[in-house]
A and B are shown apart, each in its own frame.
Chain A
């Protein structure tokens, strides 16, 4: 565990001490000091109005009243130096390459299992492992076309990967809208400080998806985004990306298999699609193969996929690579496929399926974060240090009942970045989700990403479904 002193003072990314600004923030800080506070508060309200007007909302499940909410946006940017970024990007690239190699191996020769690096049952008894994908190689050999790697920082040079979101990572629309909003509100800042652009993401995404077109595609690939529909929490993003890419936004009811191709119902009849950027989960993709009650997918799409007539992005079955139980093996996975030590660290993780680890976790519940192996969005997790005794006790019971369902990690002292508060600025914990595009032989990482910020003082939960906010993320041109 970390020393207590270290725990009490999280790494402040902007200020080294009360009057010492860290280098990446120095120009911003100069600008900030010239600003009139009232104007900043007004700008902050303007930002909210812009988001509301644009309809950048998300749905919170299980809350009828607040069916549509804004994710709070904080106007103080999170700034990363070019040097810091290059280091991060190398680490992410290595990790993403390893994830794709891992997926290809797991669904083919399974050498990593045979080499004894990963227990067989961890893969084959995992609900995220799709037997339907065994022996199936996606077009271009790409499994994870889009990845959002969650990264946290605890010190000057200490970065950890918290999660590899390799299924259908969301949040990229916030990265783009946050930048757009900042440029609208503070054009002068972008004159003073050279920030690497993120605006070309939709174009890069489109090119990247087109580069993964299936063998059966003739001519320019036709790309579509598959959404569960307007009531999905991330619908705004689905529509936004389709719009920005110039792709069709389709729902399951628009699609069917016609003459061995996946086709969409247009005003002039059915037209084939080549690349489907799907934002529905594996389970719902094909009622003939997976959940028979799914109305969100396309009956028979898996057959078309196997026949090489459609690209599904991300490929079905990629969940096996970002599963939280697999996560703890990532250092081995990276080393196994890249032949090098991981450049980015994993957070130490206890697998509760192992009796000794379970005992340790139960004994140290007050210091640990316990997560469900298949959970996401901050649901179903216990943050030991802030949980009540009662919560911990009831969580301990759940742990004992199904230990294999949980992993535990130390409570990391996440770095902080200031946010605008009533009395000026105050530090809040942040994480970072850079977005990665994978196409044959190419991994592109968009400089920046989505910074999520816990708005409550001291809180470590940054998830938007739990009241977290977002910030624009700047990677400096240096």
Chain B
């Protein structure tokens, strides 16, 4: 038995931690692109802002999109509720709120992450410091995950945390794909062009999959395989299918523990079914953009249904 508010706090704590890590990865990919691309690097920052769901907020504060401004906005601007600093602050506040549900290790790794971010993100990050700061964000969030996995009991607390992680991660992967979906459409690919290769690597890099792609597909980069990897591959930990497998499992444990099913369980299964026995070509032919938009909506709806089922508010 746990408080609805605690379930809510855990769900959001882990969504925020996941978001911090994803944003760091997006910035990393953006930086690589801007170093590689001969021109149009500011376009790249527009798509990074879009993928982070921060474009509108950014434009309220800046007239033009530039690399340094975009990076600062995504990393540490408190006017951006999704900046790394903002979400780590929110994650820690949630952790404080659910302190009694966390092991000492899980809490301290979160608190220490926040302490270091406060310090490292206290002023604008210089270009030369950026790689180090991005690494630090990935390391610190990784430490939280490690402490959490190593010490937390596999019970409802764990389930709500995991559900938060994977709802956030699925949303993030879908957004990255949706912003760049046109690059993955066979009709507009310029096979062999170096720009495309760079773009494709960038997509993979923003989900830390540029190495693992090669382990799974014994071929050069091609857009269909990339889409397959990020949407349907059940072993790729950031794919939509993988995330929803985990969400369904965790919801299943909750249903068993509480002996109670909710509409959220049906929604989750429905989403999972949309990945099962599907061929990536069929998805692309039916409209990749539409598929992703639908997914983002349904994923968000599932989050709301879970909040309702477990009395988050």
Contacts and interface: CB of A to CB of B under 8 A. Distances in A.
Interface of A: 52-55, 229-230, 235, 239-240, 242-243, 248-251, 253-254, 264-269, 271
Given A54-B111, A267-B156, A254 B96 contact: no
Contact of B100 (A243, A251, A266): A243
A121 B3 CA distance: 45
A264 B2 CA distance: 9
A271 B4 CA distance: 11
B107 interface: yes
Given A230-B93, A235-B96, A239-B100, A267 B1 contact: yes
B121 interface: no
Contacts of A251: 5
A254 B93 CA distance: 17
Given A55-B96, A248-B3, A249-B99, A267 B107 contact: no
Nearest to A251: B5
Contact of A239 (B3, B7, B99, B254): B99
Nearest to B108: A53
B105 to A, nearest CB: 11
A270 to B, nearest CB: 9
B153 to A, nearest CB: 13
B2 A53 contact: no
Nearest to B95: A55
Where chain A touches its partner, the secondary structure class is mixed
Given A52-B115, A53-B108, A266 B99 contact: no
A248 B107 CA distance: 17
Contacts of A230: 93, 96-97
A249 B100 contact: yes
Contacts of A235: 96
Interface string B82-115: 0000000000010011011000100110011001
29 contacts: A52-B115, A54-B108, A55-B96, A55-B108, A229-B97, A230-B97, A235-B96, A239-B96, A239-B99, A240-B99, A243-B99, A243-B100, A248-B100, A249-B100, A250-B3, A251-B5, A253-B5, A254-B3, A265-B4, A265-B5, A266-B1, A266-B2, A266-B3, A266-B4, A267-B3, A267-B156, A267-B258, A267-B310, A268-B258
Nearest to A245: B100
Nearest to A240: B99
A240 B102 CA distance: 11
Contact of A254 (B1, B5, B260, B310): B5
A269 B311 contact: yes
A52 B116 CA distance: 11
A253 B313 CA distance: 9
A230 B93 CA distance: 7
Interface of B: 1-5, 7, 93, 96-97, 99-100, 104, 107-108, 111-112, 115, 156, 254, 258, 260, 310-311
Most chain B CB within a 10 A radius of its CB, from A254, A268, A271: A268
A267 B2 contact: yes
Contacts of A267: 1-4, 7, 156, 254, 258, 310-311
Contacts of B112: 53
B3 A264 contact: yes
Contacts of B96: 55, 230, 235, 239
Contacts of B108: 53-55
Given A55-B111, A251-B5, 13 more contacts: A55-B107, A230-B93, A235-B96, A243-B99, A265-B311, A266-B2, A266-B3, A266-B4, A267-B2, A267-B3, A267-B156, A267-B310, A271-B1
Closest 4 CB pairs of A and B: A239-B99, A267-B310, A243-B100, A55-B111
A272 to B, nearest CB: 12
A253 to B, nearest CB: 7
B162 to A, nearest CB: 15
A335 to B, nearest CB: 43
Contacts of B260: 268
Contacts of A53: 108, 111-112, 115
A54 to B, nearest CB: 7
Contacts of A239: 96, 99-100
